[in-house]
Amino acid sequence: MKEYPVYPGEYTPMPEVEVLLEELKIPHKDSSAKPLVNMNECKDLFTIEVVVPGVRREEIFIHVHNNVLSIVVLHKDCVESKKEKLQIHEFDTECLERHILLPDNADTEFVSAKYREGILSLHIPKTHEPSKTYTNQIVVY
């Protein structure tokens, strides 16, 4: 079993979540939408806002590997609704996926994330030396 260091405690994904995340690695990029993102640089940190309406925070998975921030949303209710015959279906929020290359001075060890009213907000502190290579799972509050 993989271990993901986070503060406070450790994050251990459920087996069914691991299976869904593995399925996303299959090269069918057209099946996932890209959410809209705002990224700002402040004096001591970077802020990232991501639009992900209509999901629960438990459906948002964030991790950092080699300075690439990956945000994946697995909206389970939409998977079940696809079994129904839809007349018009113009938006699909089953799977949202976004990868953001972070600057070298981003401290990826201490990223914080919160989800409120359809907006995922991330705060990434800056560091004075180039960041180390971390693989970090981020918990959404």
Q: What is the mean pLDDT of residues 108-113?
A: 92
Q: What is the mean pLDDT of the chain?
A: 78
* Residue 139 to residue 8: CA distance in whole angstroms: 10
Residue 122's pLDDT is what? 97
Distances (CA, A) of 73 to 29, 36, 40, 104: 14, 13, 22, 26
Q: What pLDDT, in 10s, does the model give residues 112-123?
A: 999 999 999 999
Read off the pLDDT band of 29 (50, 70, 90): very low
48 Cβ contact list (under 8 Å, min separation 6)? 37, 38, 39, 40, 69, 100, 121, 122, 124
| More confidently predicted of 39 and 90 | 39
- In the chain, the domains with their CATH numbers are 4-25+33-138 (2.60.40.790)
pLDDT digits (tens, 9 = 90+) for 53-87: 888 989 999 999 988 999 998 876 654 555 566 66
- Top pLDDT among 30 and 86 is at 86
| 62, 55 contact by CB (below 8 A) | no
Reference 61, options 20, 27, 8; nearest CA is 20
pTM comes to 0.69
